[in-house]
């Protein structure tokens, strides 16, 4: 009985999440036009931070509850799902060439990934490594402001003066994203624990997918509204923030030794997917790269994710 009840709560939370995502994305786009900044920049900042909020909360609660393995599994698993599942959905659902976007922000993304790999070599996150990640965060913010003026903003035809309304709906949409994703994750985690799933697997699958629901909902909403640059910015920004904000929480307040599988199995896959993501995003900027090729890449991303989840589940 408890199982069905929590599944029902999960579905209600999902409805809230989807509705909030539509308002969050459309209002963020309106604010971008009003402020005269690109949708790529909005995706890298407001949307990325908003959709990364669940991972940040998981990191904090994991320290309080002494379940750091769930937090690290969530970071790596969420980044895998952001690329393989969410970007895969974006590529598969592409109906037009994405808006031109400045990909200079890919450098902080790759740098944060490299630092995460170095940190995982001894299966512990040190204070020094955590400080370096915060420096990468500062570098990421610098890149955003440095290259914002170079972004192509074709859609900005006129300024929108209704800043107050846009900010209000961004706040309400973000609140809905956080509440909806929190209860989605909470009920999914309860179901998983009832079934007897290990902590690391919960982090890599249930928690990772659950905390990626805001990104997925925002991506689908952005696709419907044809905000291609916003999708790329959201995934880039979210993956960077997941690493440089959540991992230092573990490094500063815990000295737990992590499961070796997270390096040999999960991080290796994350590196491969991240490189393929950057390559695909760059190719999508080229005139010779057709829509059908984008969809093929999307199919590959999603297929890899399905195989990964099946492997974690012990089905293959």
**DSSP calls for 227-279:** -HHHHHHHHHHHHHHIIIIIHHHHHHH--PPPPTHIIIIIIHHHHHHHHHHHH
pLDDT in tens, 154-184: 444 444 456 777 788 878 887 887 787 677 7
Q: State the pLDDT at residue 226.
A: 74
Q: Distance between CA atoms of 138 and 132, rounded to whole angstroms?
A: 10
Distance of alpha carbon 112 from alpha carbon 214, whole angstroms: 22
- Please say whether the beta carbons of 240 and 112 come within 8 A: yes
At 160 the pLDDT is 47
- Cα atoms in the Cβ-side hemisphere of radius 13 Å centred on 271: 15
Kindly report the average pLDDT of the chain as a whole number.
79
Q: Which of 225, 256, 299 is nearest to 26 (CA)?
A: 225
Nearest to 179 by CA among 82, 53, 78, 4: 53
User: What is the distance between the alpha carbons of residues 38 and 227, in angstroms, rounded to a whole number?
Assistant: 11
CA-CA distance, 57 to 157, in Å (whole number)? 38
Token readout for 21 is 């995502």
How many whole angstroms separate alpha carbon 223 and alpha carbon 99?
11
Question: Exposed, middle or buried: residue 67 (CB in 10 Å: 0-12, 13-18, 19+)?
Answer: middle
Cα-to-chain-centroid distance, residue 212: 6
**What does DSSP assign to residue 87?**
I
Structure token pair of residue 48? 């990325």
Q: Which residue has the tokens 């690109």?
A: 38
Residue 313, pLDDT score: 74
CB contact at 8 A, 32 and 38? yes
Question: For residues 145 and 43, what is the distance between their CA atoms, to the nearest angstrom?
Answer: 13
Residues of the chain with pLDDT under 50: 98, 149-160
Considering the entire predicted model, what is its pTM? 0.78
């Amino acid at each position: 009985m408890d199982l069905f009840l929590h599944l029902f709560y999960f579905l209600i939370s999902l409805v809230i999440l989807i509705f909030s995502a539509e308002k969050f994305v459309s209002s963020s786009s309106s604010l971008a036009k009003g402020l005269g900044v690109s949708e790529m920049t909005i995706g890298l900042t407001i949307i990325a931070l908003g959709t990364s909020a669940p991972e940040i909360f998981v990191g904090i609660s994991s320290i309080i509850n002494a379940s750091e393995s769930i937090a690290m599994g969530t970071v790596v698993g969420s980044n895998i799902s952001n690329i393989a599942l969410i970007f895969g959905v974006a590529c598969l659902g592409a109906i037009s060439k994405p808006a031109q976007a400045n990909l200079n922000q890919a450098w902080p993304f790759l740098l944060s990934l490299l630092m995460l790999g170095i940190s995982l070599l001894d299966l512990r996150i040190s204070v020094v490594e955590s400080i370096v990640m915060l420096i990468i965060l500062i570098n990421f913010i610098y890149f955003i402001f440095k290259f914002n003026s170079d972004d192509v903003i074709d859609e900005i035809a006129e300024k929108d003066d209704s800043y107050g309304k846009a900010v209000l709906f961004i706040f309400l949409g973000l609140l809905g994203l956080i509440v909806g994703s929190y209860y989605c994750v909470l009920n999914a985690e309860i179901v998983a624990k009832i079934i007897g799933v290990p902590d690391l697997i919960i982090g890599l699958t249930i928690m990772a997918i659950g905390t990626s629901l805001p990104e997925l909902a925002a991506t689908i909403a952005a696709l419907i509204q044809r905000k291609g640059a916003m999708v790329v910015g959201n995934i880039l920004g979210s993956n960077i923030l997941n690493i440089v904000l959540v991992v230092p929480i573990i490094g500063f307040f815990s000295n737990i030794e992590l499961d070796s599988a997270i390096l040999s199995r999960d991080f290796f896959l994350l590196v491969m997917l991240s490189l393929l993501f950057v390559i695909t995003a760059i190719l999508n900027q080229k005139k010779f790269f057709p829509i059908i090729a984008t969809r093929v890449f999307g199919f590959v991303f999603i297929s890899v994710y399905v195989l990964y989840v099946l492997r974690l589940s012990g089905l293959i």
